[in-house]
Amino acid sequence: MTLAEENYLKAIYHLEQEFKSGVSTNALAKEMNTKASSVTDMVKKLAEKQLLTHVPYQGATLSESGRNYAVKIIRRHRLWEVFLVEKLNFSWDEVHEVAEHLEHIKSEKLINELDALLEFPTHDPHGDPIPDKNGNFKHIDKIILAKAEIGNRYKCVGVDDTSTNFLKYLDSNNIALGTIITVIHKEPYDNSIKIELEDKDIVVSQNVAKNLYLKKV
């Protein structure tokens, strides 16, 4: 399995979670930042390896073996992110790009030992669930801030946007996993939301509100 093939499997897996259906060539081309013709060639290769099926006008869908392979890549990626934060003092906005390289190390023993070293974490530094060695995820009930109710208290449990700019924005406002947030007001004009943190009140944009995951406390 080449590095490019692994990246495609992971991308298709994530897009399947988003669209709950077959992944179109155009959607995959956008995700991979490449031409549709290149996507078509790769989809054919993966289909020949029985890692996915492709139906014209319905898109690509991972087979069971393809999905299992993608989950292994995701497991490696998220464990490496935890390791970088907990053991090497990386910040949560620095780990994604490094983990993108480390996830292609295929030693199963290495990953299982890494999992044990980290005491079997269930979520990565961004709040995303880490599959165990059997491919099982531990899911938690969560909503985005945009759908949170006024007057309720929530705990920040994850982010949808893992870009450096967004994570640095959260850091500058002292918002991290575990931060307690109370929704004070929703502005109908621009859908901005006023929230209460432990030490201050701030107003966040709709773009922020749709990328922050919360759990009611």
| Domain-embedded: residue 100 | no
Using an 8 Å Cβ cutoff, are 179 and 171 in contact? no
* 139 — pLDDT class (breaks 50, 70, 90): confident
Pairing verdict, β 180-186 and 153-159: antiparallel
**Better-scored residue on pLDDT, 199 or 85:** 85
pLDDT in tens, 26-80: 999 999 999 999 999 999 999 999 999 999 888 999 999 999 999 999 999 999 9
| Domain-embedded: residue 138 | no
Number of domains in the chain: 2
Q: In the predicted model, is pLDDT for residue 143 greater than 90?
A: yes
Give pLDDT, residue 18: 86
Q: In the predicted model, is pLDDT for residue 132 greater than 90?
A: yes
* 145 — pLDDT class (breaks 50, 70, 90): very high
| Domain-embedded: residue 127 | no
- Cβ neighbours, 10 Å, residue 200: 9
Q: Which of 208, 148, 198, 156 is nearest to 177 (CA)?
A: 156
Give pLDDT, residue 58: 87
9, two tokens: 């499997």
| Domain-embedded: residue 183 | yes
Contacts of 82 (CB under 8 A, 6+ apart): 118, 121, 124, 125, 130
Domain end residue (candidates: 62, 82, 98):
62
pLDDT in tens, 12-30: 999 998 887 899 999 999 9
| Domain-embedded: residue 105 | no
| Domain-embedded: residue 86 | no
Give pLDDT, residue 140: 86
Q: Which of 210, 211, 176, 181 is nearest to 196 (CA)?
A: 181
Number of residues written out for the chain: 217
Contacts of 57 (CB under 8 A, 6+ apart): none
Q: What is each CA distance from 77 to 116, 143, 168, in whole angstroms? A: 15, 24, 21
Facing residues of 204 across strands?
Answer: 193
Domain end residue (candidates: 14, 30, 62):
62
| Domain-embedded: residue 196 | yes
Angle ∠(17,21,24) on CA atoms, nearest 5: 100
Q: In the predicted model, is pLDDT for residue 199 greater than 90?
A: no
Q: What is the CATH number of the domain that holds 13?
A: 1.10.10.10
* 209 — pLDDT class (breaks 50, 70, 90): very high
Q: Chain-wide mean pLDDT for the chain?
A: 96
pLDDT in tens, 68-111: 999 999 999 999 999 999 999 999 999 999 999 999 999 999 99
Pairing verdict, β 193-196 and 180-186: antiparallel
Question: Which domain range does residue 179 map to?
Answer: 143-216
Domain end residue (candidates: 42, 62, 82):
62
Q: What is the CATH number of the domain that holds 209?
A: 2.30.30.90
